[in-house]
Amino acid sequence: MTSPATLTDPAATNRLTYDDDLFLRTRRVLGVSVVNQTVWRLPVPLEPRAVRALHRGLTEGPLQRVVRPGRLPGARARWSASAVSLDPAIESTPVRDDAVLAWADRQAQAHLDPEQGPTWALAAAPTVSGGSVLSFVTSHVVADGGMHVGALQAAVAAAGFRADDTGGFTSPSGPRRLPRDGERIRTGLVADLRDATGQARAAVGGLRRAVRQGPVPPVLAQQSSDRPRPEPRADDTQPAHPPVVVVDTDAATWHRTAHAAGGTANSLLIAVCTEILLAAGAATAGMPVRVSVPVSLRGKDDLRSNATSGVSITVDTTVTPAPERAGVVADMAQIRASASAEFRALTSGTRVDTLGPLKPLMQMVPDAVAKRAARDATAPLCLASNLGRLPAGFAAPLGTPATSVLMRGVTQGLTRGRLRQMRGGLDSWWSEHDGVATLVVLGLDIERLGEPGQVRAAVETVYARHGLPVRFW
């Protein structure tokens, strides 16, 4: 769901938002970097010239930005234009069709640096079957899903593949461009003083709102914070490799199934992800499950790196007497109604939010304080991210529509100890294009969804239950 949030003040886009700062701190304080990745499976041979043209378009777009610290205490860091970029990685060795996901995993480990650059990476390779694969990776500090998609669309248009599909961004050389180092516009001490003063006022106002708001009602649903904190283990410092499963299905069947159950494509996504947790034993049937749903607040010509909020809904998992219905989320109308109510509360500003009023203060605290606060941070038990129908230009980045498109977030530098501490269940990303609906499921529960086979088995069970055909990557 998207609510109008078009920015009219260009200066507002030149300071890091709370979410920008959160992803930057995660990298700087915890040593964990979050990136967004899209991988396209293309039915045509690799065309290096087309990849280079797309790369040139990206170098002229809104991703060419790096973080510059504020000069005064309390002033937010700012964005500055960057000339640093990686050359496109164009491979000559064909990738086996059953090894595309492994190839994607390697590309997702690209070293990106939001403070020095580069902030994105582009890679391509031929496939054994005669097609090709393309990977696009962006630092989450610089781009959420909306910016990731919009910047690629703008590059597609700049490369001449689809001149009618710009992604809503004006030319980066126009009045909304980011300032370069050395320019006084929006970067001087006076600007920092104004920003620090504004942040201090916002922090005080936020504290007052938090007090007036009162306590948030308790969540009567299964969530990751209810799980016991794990004890230290010998392998805590070893790298974590959470399993990922990618499955394509028929988009029309997905929509029919959702409609027949009184829901929408989004309702079915939430139900499917909840059922995957139940099938794997990562949640208990008969008790509600808390599901986190990201919500885009990006408007046209919105150059914010991160413009995403989110809501949480409680999904009923009432046990039915029929054995064949065990683990089924039967009431999609309930999901639809709950999600709609939360979306309305978010956009109207009536939602009770513990974190929201405190964001200005949290953005001002030193790294040492942020690090202590992050020690008990948990991941959602279930994250269901609906990316919707992909724009035509994004689904055909080199001019030819992809046969399948993977979109996901990847956490670099994650250890097994930190993964256990997060106590998550699963993350998921769903999108559709050209009649194909693609679901990406990342297992975060080491015990129950810690192996690819465990995730795949749970996905197969749930898809079969809903009559959804499966084509795994």
* DSSP-assigned letter for residue 178: P
Instruction: Encode burial over 351-370: b for 16+ CB neighbours within 10 A, e otherwise.
Output: eebeebbbbbbbbbeeeeeb
Distance (Å, rounded) from C-alpha 54 to C-alpha 88?
9
Bridge partners, residue 78, by sequence: 15, 68
Read off the DSSP letter of residue 262: T
User: pLDDT value at position 173?
Assistant: 40
Give pLDDT tens digits along the chain (473 positions): 333 333 334 345 589 999 999 999 999 999 999 999 999 999 999 999 999 999 999 999 999 999 999 999 999 999 999 999 999 999 999 999 999 999 999 999 999 999 999 999 999 999 999 999 999 999 999 999 999 999 999 999 999 986 445 454 444 443 344 555 554 445 688 899 999 999 999 999 999 999 988 777 788 899 999 999 999 999 999 999 999 999 999 999 999 999 999 999 999 999 999 999 999 999 999 899 999 999 999 988 888 999 999 999 999 997 665 555 556 887 899 999 999 999 999 998 888 888 889 999 999 999 999 988 888 889 999 999 999 999 999 999 999 999 999 999 999 999 999 999 999 999 999 999 999 999 999 999 999 999 999 999 999 999 999 999 999 99
244-250 vs 471-472, strand pairing mode: antiparallel
d(CA 82, CA 11): 17
pLDDT of residue 350: 84
- Cβ atoms 314, 219 nearer than 8 A: yes
As a whole number of angstroms, the distance between CA 63 and CA 56 comes to 12
Nearest Cα to Cα of residue 155 among 63, 81, 90, 41: 63
Sheet (strand 436-443) strand order: 308-315, 289-296, 382-389, 426-433, 436-443, 244-250, 471-472
Residue-level pLDDT at 171: 41
pLDDT (0 to 100) of residue 446: 96
3-state secondary structure of 170: coil
Q: How many helices (H) and strands (E) does the chain have?
A: 13, 14
Q: What are phi and psi of 134, to 5 degrees?
A: -135, 135
Domains of the chain: 11-201 (3.30.559.10), 222-356+365-472 (3.30.559.30)
pLDDT of residue 322: 55
Which of 19, 24, 141, 26 minimizes the C-alpha distance to 422?
A: 26
Q: Which two tokens stand for residue 454?
A: 């465990």
What distance in Å separates the CA atoms of residue 375 and residue 2, rounded to the nearest whole number? 32
| Residue 144 one-letter amino acid | D
With helix as H, strand as E and coil as C, how does 55-106 read? HHHHHCCCCCEEEECCCCCCCCCEEEECCCCCCCEECCCCECHHHHHHHHHH
d(CA 172, CA 147): 14
**Measured CA distances, 389 to 153, 432, 436 (Å):** 14, 5, 10
How many Cα atoms within 13 Å fall on the side-chain side of residue 157?
19
